[in-house]
Structure 1
């Protein structure tokens, strides 16, 4: 069964006062451009069953009969979607209002991005990331009490989800003006928004500090597979994962990670690579790995990092295995000592390899170096690229893995690091953090 739905294009989300035929034409062109994959992105955004899909291929199959066109109705431009599966709409006929706004946000960032790409120097690339965030309206307030990013898995256990939600609840009580940035999907990416909503109500946050943003950072390649949850009211869709990661770090006063899959490991490696880059070591930034008392996820990850880096990463992160209230109290007490009051952190230097998009190919994976014969931050960058490739081949573009048949790229490096890294991936697989409902094909080999 299919429906036809009309989705208003919201001018303020696009940053314009009036949408003209010229802009409407650009949207039509983008809809007809396969590389943009806008039809499946629109389908993923309006689908109320987001957590039922693991990769872009599943979304593409779900919305294979859907067509989207731009029309003008009653003086305004709208998207008319035909062939929409009725079961992806809450009543079989209408789209949730938050999803309507998210569609316009995606159009803004994909079809109408700010000019330039900042491709010359590291500083210019960083300047473009800031311009992109400004273009989306996120920096309009300037000074904020606290913005913290939260990383974690798309698919997690109920216990892990409830713990992350409880952490956000207690943080909202201790720091009622706090705002959160997540990867904006399901699981841990949704839990902070659910938890802090109750705390905001109890602390009368909206009356005291104004409306709070539930900020979601995603990127075009993974948007369809991990579509934003309906609580996200400020969505940014970055062109690349590298720009998304830089924005997470620069737009936050501190950050934490909860358990997750290879994408979470990729994020952790990115943060540690930035913190260990020469020149960044003395910049204060609290980065914490947090799970419930008795949890072993981060204890095992800490052991893995110690095996790979010995003591090179000492002091760059802390592991917390405790109850939510204890951790929230720690954050509240240490936040009072932060000297940075403004949203954007220009102090960090991002090494070029953290900014250039890593193109996942058979050859690029075989070129990875997982050995200690390099600086710690260089090994972290290689590990970040390795886990980025695992995410790419399992979620973003599983068709590429199918095209390789039985062939797999050989990953090279120190034998103990290779063994430990392979075991970490296998552990994530056994825990159901990589495609828990399909047979997962490991996209590499080690000797």
Structure 2
């Protein structure tokens, strides 16, 4: 779920209309989350680039540092909103593309049709990666998706020759870290990543 939500936020922030926005994004958790943050940060860097990585901060196992960081960001947010005449309580200037305003309904067709290619703007790639992760989460836990996969086999994700291996590596690391299953159970992937 965390990767899906991070991709959602990054996709919004990567839109050209939001280049001046200042919205602090912090990835944080206990010490055992460090490996997860390392692989997700590496994946973001290789797929969406350094510009996307610059939109978030990773602070592991230090709640006080998170609080201090966010407190400092509050002044920057206030100054930006004041400079553009925007409200403090609602970010009217934030552009949320239509791709991020509608739920994604995963099935074998919609998952196979996702554009998982570098031949699109970064915010659209983030939207499609978010959809892929949303479908995988659904395939792991939602009754309709689980039944669909049991009947028709795993979802097939088609990525280009550069993106597919990156996605496959990330998803395999999630499996190895136990992020795809309930503790004590054996995970059977609900997806396959293919490249031409």
TM range (shorter): 0.7 to 0.9
Matches within 5 A, 1:276-355: 276-292=14-30, 295-321=34-60, 323-339=62-78, 342-355=88-101
Distance change (3 Å), C-alpha of 1:314 and 1:305: closer
Q: Secondary structure at the match of 2:47?
A: helix
Q: Secondary structure at the match of 1:296?
A: helix
Of Structure 1 and Structure 2, the greater helix share is in 2
Which of the numbers 157, 163, 166 marks the counterpart of 1:420? 166
Which of the numbers 127, 135, 138 marks the counterpart of 1:392? 138
User: Using the alignment, how far apart are the partners of 1:413 and 1:265 within structure 2?
Assistant: 18
Tell me, which stretches of 5 or more residues in structure 1 are unaligned? 1-262
Partner of 2:103: 357
**How many pairs were matched up?**
183
Partner of 2:186: 439
Q: Secondary structure at the match of 1:446?
A: strand
Partner of 2:156: 410
User: Using the alignment, how far apart are the partners of 2:23 and 2:3 within structure 1?
Assistant: 19
TM-score scaled by length of structure 1? 0.38
Q: Is the 8 A contact 1:292 1:324 kept in 2?
A: no
The Cα of 1:416 is off from its aligned counterpart by: 3.3
Q: Show structure 1 runs of 4+ deviating over 6 A.
A: none
User: Using the alignment, how far apart are the partners of 2:89 and 2:141 within structure 1?
Assistant: 31
User: Using the alignment, how far apart are the partners of 1:409 and 1:375 within structure 2?
Assistant: 25
Larger Rg: 1
Tell me, which stretches of 5 or more residues in structure 2 are unaligned? 82-86
Q: Is the 8 A contact 2:44 2:53 kept in 1?
A: no
Greater relative CO (CA pairs within 8 A, separation 6+): 2
Q: Is the 8 A contact 2:17 2:95 kept in 1?
A: yes
